[in-house]
Amino acid sequence: MLNTSKKLIALAALIPTLVSGMPVKANIQGCNPTRSNRSVCPSTATPEIASFIDPTAIIFEADNITLAKQVYIGPFAKLIASYDAGITIDAESNVQDNVTIIGKFERDEHVKQKVRLLGIKGVKIADHVIMAHGVTIKGPAQIGIGGTNIDVNPNKDQEVFLGFGSEVDGAILQKNTGVSTLGRVGSGVTLKSGYIVLPGKNVTTQAQADDPALGKVRLLTEADIAFNEAVLEVNIAFAREYTKLARKNASNVRGINYDPGNTAFNPNQDLPELAGVPTRDPNFRNRIIGDVNLADSKMRIDSTKVMGRRISLRADEGEPFNVGRINRMGDNTIFHALQESNIIIGNNVTFGAKSIVHGGGRPQVDINGEQEPTTIKDNVTLKSQAIIFRSLIGEGSTIGMKSLVVNSVLAPGTNIGDKIIYDNNTVFGQVEW
C-alpha cells in the first residue's frame, strides 16, 4: 500500500493546481504552517500532497516549523517552536489529538548537560512517524533518524510509533523504534533501531534502552510493523480527505461536523447526532466528528460543567460511537477507534481530564465471529489520564489516574488503582513516571 501511495504522490507533484485560473506550482519541499497555510499547507497544494492542520491546533513560531507532504495534524495538537529551536515533520507522519511538541524544553542544569551530549537542536521528526493521542515530545529530540533498517524487506521504509500518552524528553529515537502506551524515554538516551519501550516504563539510562533483560524494552516484531503500516495509511488518507473537506467549505472542519468519508475504511460522510438530532455546529468549542451519537442534547453539552474544553470525539475511522448521558467529561478527553471497530458507553460515566477511550476490537468475539467493541458500562469513573483500549469496563468500576486497561474484561465494581498497566486481565506493572 505504501508503495502505491508514493507513486500517486510522485505523479501528483508533477501536476500544477489552478487558483483563480492561474497555475501554481505546489511546494513539495516543505511548508510553514503560517495563517495563510492553514488548514491546508501549503494553501495551493493538491490534496494528494497537502498537509492538513485541524483549525483547533495551536501553532507557535510557524516560520520555524516545517511540514513535508501529507502530514496530518489532529485536533488540539500543540506545536511550540522558537527562533533557535525549530520543529520539522517529514512526509506522511501524523500528529494526533492533543499531542504536544516543544522545540526547546527548559530543564535544570544537570539534565541539560545530558541533553547537550546528544548534539542536537530543536525537534526533527522523520517520515512515517506516528504520534498517537496525548503524546508529548520535549526538545531537543530526534524521532526516526539514524540507525538501521531492521525489517526483513530491505526496501521498506522506517516507521516509529509513539503510543497513547507516551513521552520523549530530550532523547533520540532511531529508525524502527517505538514507545508503548504511557512509556517514556528520558533525557540523553538513544533508543536504537529494533527496540520498543514497554507500557508504562521509564527509560532513563542507555543501559536500560539497550538491554531487554533489564525489563524496560523489547524487540520490534512483524506484528508491530504491520500495525504501524495500517495506522500510517489511515492518517495519510486523513491528510488528503480533510483537505478536500476544507476546500469545499472551511467551516466543515470546525466544531461539530462531518467526518470526511471517501476512504476504504470509512466511505460515508456522517454528522453527529445529539439527543437523536443530526447536528452541525462549526462554532462549538470542541471537535465532535462523524458518527458520534450522544444521548445528551446540544444545550446540555454547551455547559462546561458537563463537557469541558479541548475535547476530541473523532469517529472518522472506526464508528459508531454510542454514548449515554454524560456525568462529566473533563478537558482534553479523546475518543477514537481503529477501522472496523466501534465504542459503546453507558450512562453517568465520568471522564477525567486527558482520558482516552479507544476502540479497536476486543479479543472476545460475538456470535457472528466479530470482535466485540470497546465498552464502558453505566456509572464508571475514569480518573485523569486514564486510558481504555480494546476492553469492557463493568458497571460501577473506577480506573485510576494515569492507568491503562487494554485487552481486558473488568467485572462490575472493579477498582484499578493509580498508575497501573492492566493488560489481558492481569496487572502487567506500574507506570514509572
How distant, in Å, are the alpha carbons of 43, 78, 192, 230 from that of 233?
23, 23, 25, 5
**The predicted structure's pLDDT at residue 157:** 66
Architecture of domain 255-430: 3 Solenoid (2.160)
Does the pLDDT value for residue 27 go beyond 80? Answer: no
d(CA 8, CA 12) in angstroms, rounded, equals 6
**The predicted structure's pLDDT at residue 360:** 94
Among the residue ranges 27-31, 94-98, 105-109, 150-154, the one predicted with the least confidence is 150-154
H helix intervals, 33-163: 109-116
pLDDT tens string 348-362: 999 999 999 999 988
Cα pseudo-dihedral 290, 296, 298, 302, rounded to 10? -110
Considering the chain, what percentage of its residues have pLDDT values greater than 90? 87
For the 2-229 domain, the top CATH level (class) is mainly beta
pLDDT top residue among 370 and 426: 426
Considering the chain, what percentage of its residues have pLDDT values greater than 70? 91
Does the pLDDT value for residue 2 go beyond 90? Answer: no
Strands (E) located in 229-342: 256-257, 273-274, 277-278, 287-290, 292-294, 312-315, 321-323, 326-329, 334-337
- Return mean pLDDT, the chain: 92
Grid coordinates given for 32: 510553514
What is the band of 371 on the pLDDT scale with cuts at 50, 70, 90? confident
H helix intervals, 193-304: 206-210, 222-248, 298-301
**The predicted structure's pLDDT at residue 216:** 98
Average the pLDDT over 409-424 and give the result. Answer: 98
Does the pLDDT value for residue 295 go beyond 80? Answer: yes
pLDDT tens string 178-215: 999 999 999 999 999 999 999 999 999 999 999 999 99
Among the residue ranges 6-10, 270-274, 334-338, the one predicted with the least confidence is 6-10
pLDDT tens string 33-51: 999 999 999 999 999 999 9
Average the pLDDT over 201-230 and give the result. Answer: 96
Cβ 255 vs Cβ 281: under 8 Å: yes
Q: Which regions of the chain carry the CATH code 2.160.10.10?
A: 2-229
Cβ 68 vs Cβ 90: under 8 Å: yes
pLDDT tens string 278-287: 999 999 999 9
What is the band of 112 on the pLDDT scale with cuts at 50, 70, 90? confident
What is the band of 156 on the pLDDT scale with cuts at 50, 70, 90? low
| Burial readout 383-409 (b: 16 or more C-beta within 10 A, e: otherwise) | bbbbbbbbbbbbbbbbbbbbbbbbebb
**Region for 170 from its dihedrals, namely left if φ exceeds 0, alpha if ψ lies in -120 to 50, beta otherwise:** left
d(CA 44, CA 64) in angstroms, rounded, equals 20
- Tally helices (H) and strands (E) across the chain: 5, 46
What is the band of 150 on the pLDDT scale with cuts at 50, 70, 90? low
Name the residue with cell 489552478: 18
End-to-end CA distance of the chain: 37
Cβ 287 vs Cβ 73: under 8 Å: no
What is the band of 94 on the pLDDT scale with cuts at 50, 70, 90? very high
